[in-house]
Chains A and B, each alone.
Chain A
Amino acid sequence: MYLTNDEERALKGEYGEALEIAYRILSSIGRLTNASHLIKISSAHVSGVSYSTIGDYGKDFLENISLKAKVSVPTTVNPAGLDYQNPYEFNVDGNYVSEQMKIIEAYKRLGVTDSFTCTPYEGFYLPPIGSHVSWAESSASIYANSILNLMTNRESALSALASAITGKTPYSELHIDELRKPAISIRINIDKLSYSVKFGLLGYFAGRITRGPISFQNIKNPNPSEAKALCAAMGASGASGMFMINKNMDKVEKMDFTNNELKNVYDELNDVEKGDAIILGCPHLNVNEINEISEFIKDKKFNKKCLIFCSRKTYEEAKKKGYVDRIEKAGARFICNTCAVFTPIISSLEVDKITTNSCKAAHYIKRAHKVSVNLKDIDEIIKESLV
């Protein structure tokens, strides 16, 4: 891969250790993905924030590099393992809290935006359409490519951090127009493709089909909630980084997604018919989605624990509009800036069965917390849990 003189010097360590590490990551990933050179990016989104995922090894690395580097482009970060403004809210082990705080401090030293969300496209800086970006968090990078008209590969915590520091990414794979063309088209033929769960099931199915871009035929354009569910599930089940909807696809391999496939995926993700607690907000909810919940609730109350995950920015906006109060009055709790899955809060609930509307949460929650999952659309969840 070609590097400019300046990039070569950074790689040799002439501009300090942090840039050396960052360029080592980028040049190595560039060689792996057959990139010709590095290109400039207009934003970065970095994963690897929850102590539940990166642990002590990741924390040590971040603490070290954060003493020597700053991000050079607008950079948002993923949710943490708990809310740093209310870290002791859920009786989480004290060591976990202090280690998680060190990770958050390290990111703050690096100069990232105080986002702590997996949906940085809702309420935070959005680069111009068509821009090259470097986004980790699979659900967000698929959303960026497929919905926002941005160009990114599915970055890892380390490659996105290296890009945030240098402002560059290898010119490869989904940054190249030619390589964004789907080789597989999925024809959707089911009764009614609507609601987040069905879109999630489609995404979960599609993610397993190919590592490359996917075309979906014969579906309506998803609304933002449906698109989030689709992207998140696709990211959880596979490595594909983007999809297109109803584009003309003559010469590509065709597959079908019928009621049969839908049922198989559902049966795989859904273990039980009812949960003992409700988890909403994987990916994080936006203000409209919170409003939707508040309208379902009217003046009723939840008959079980209900946790709702979103960014603090979303929470504050929804609170101003009065949605939050109504939901909190019904007994649900908001948890800000925290991942709905990779958090000790789930285990602290001490339940064996979780109800969620997210296929991604279903996939990870049963693996990370050894609980059974009940998968349902939000209107059904609320209907059956309100008294």
Chain B
Amino acid sequence: MRGVLRARGLVDGLGWGEALVSNYPISFLEGIDPEQGKIIDKRHELFGSCIEKRVLIFPHSIGSSVGAYVLYKLKENGKAPSAIINLRSDNITVSGCAIAKIPLVDMVEGISLIRKGEFLMVNGSNGFVIIY
């Protein structure tokens, strides 16, 4: 184990998986295909990446509030990320994670320590992230 980072727990639950990191906001509605569980926004740095069972890290969401339902659909299809980490979260991500039961934290102390591909455990109930 490489470290434990404190965070603000927003949506309850435990999720673990490889870190998929972006410095750019994501529009769920335009940017993610809930059937394939892939980033489909060609302008996004994670274009083509598979988000299923990963820990998806990005600053916050942008775009239509319908994006919340895209997270719900991802979960129904078994293609959802196992957890989400935001810099500072927003209403759309929070409500989407809440209905899809995807653990969510934000305001992680020392988030820059997390590197792409590292194995993480996210605790949305008590607010911390473990880097393995």
Contacts and interface: CB of A to CB of B under 8 A. Distances in A.
Interface of A: 11, 21, 24-25, 27-29, 31-32, 48, 53-55, 57-58, 60-61, 156-159
B108 to A, nearest CB: 15
Contacts of A158: 68, 95-96, 98-99
B10 A32 contact: yes
B83 interface: no
A21 B70 CA distance: 16
Interface stretch (B15-23, B51-59, B86-94, B114-122): B86-94
Interface residues on B, range: 20 to 34
Q: Is the interface of A mostly helix, strand, loop or mixed?
A: helix
A55 B73 CA distance: 11
A60 B68 contact: no
A248 B90 CA distance: 33
A28 B94 contact: yes
Contact of B72 (A11, A28, A57): A57
Interface of B: 8-12, 34, 64-66, 68-70, 72-73, 76, 89-92, 94-99, 101, 104
B101 to A, nearest CB: 7
A61 B72 CA distance: 8
A29 B91 CA distance: 7
Contact of A31 (B10, B66, B76): B10
B104 to A, nearest CB: 7
B66 A54 contact: yes
B26 to A, nearest CB: 16
B70 A32 contact: no
Contacts of B64: 53
A118 to B, nearest CB: 15
